[in-house]
Structure 1
Amino acid sequence: MDEWECAHGDFHAANLTTGGTVLDWEGWGIAPRGYDAAIFYAYAQLAPDTAARIRRELAAFLEGAAGRAALLVVCAELLQSASRGDHPDLTPKLRALIDGLRTAAR
């Protein structure tokens, strides 16, 4: 992960207004390239059509080594959060996403 950039740090639908304004910037900072796209995509896993659109629209940030690394970091963080009781319904989807990333890397 040698590509880092400014990131919101908690980029998901609840932090977006219908007009496209991004809210809740207290976690912003430097993160691996594609981190915000990865977190947006990971949180969308419970809505497959939305996740597919995010994947399509943000492919430039989610593909390649940097995108895979960002997705793995985000999945690890969200699985850790789920182990404390946050979004437990995401756990199977995140594990499937990780499995898909491992398969694609082979």
Structure 2
Amino acid sequence: LTPMDKTGTSLRILLHDTQANLENFSDRVNKLAGNIDESKREISTVKELYQQGHEKVVEDIVDLVNRCQLEVQRAVGAPAQAVEIKGLRVDLMQVDNRLKELESRMNMLQMV
């Protein structure tokens, strides 16, 4: 059995091969698209987990800083110089007021 139309037979064989290759290619594309969707889901899950972990770390650090601050305040208490600085500030304000009074008197004397 030999075909009468060799060109037609060759074209049919080529078309059949092309169709088989396209089906294989289509299957591979579908698998790849499925893997891409799965990867997107996994990336979003990892992103959420990372964000939750980051928030937990930030909360832990804030709590630790607050505890450290309370312990330092408890250990140090009120600074020893605070009372002396307040007294010094009052004295400086009095000196400033006296200097202003003297300046106004000098201005009055210069006018006369």
TM-score, normalising length: structure 1? 0.21
* Larger strand share, 1 or 2: 1
Task: Please report the TM-score for the alignment, with normalisation by the length of structure 2.
Answer: 0.20
Structure with the bigger RCO (C-alpha within 8 Å, sep 6+) is: 1
- Larger radius of gyration, structure 1 or 2? 2
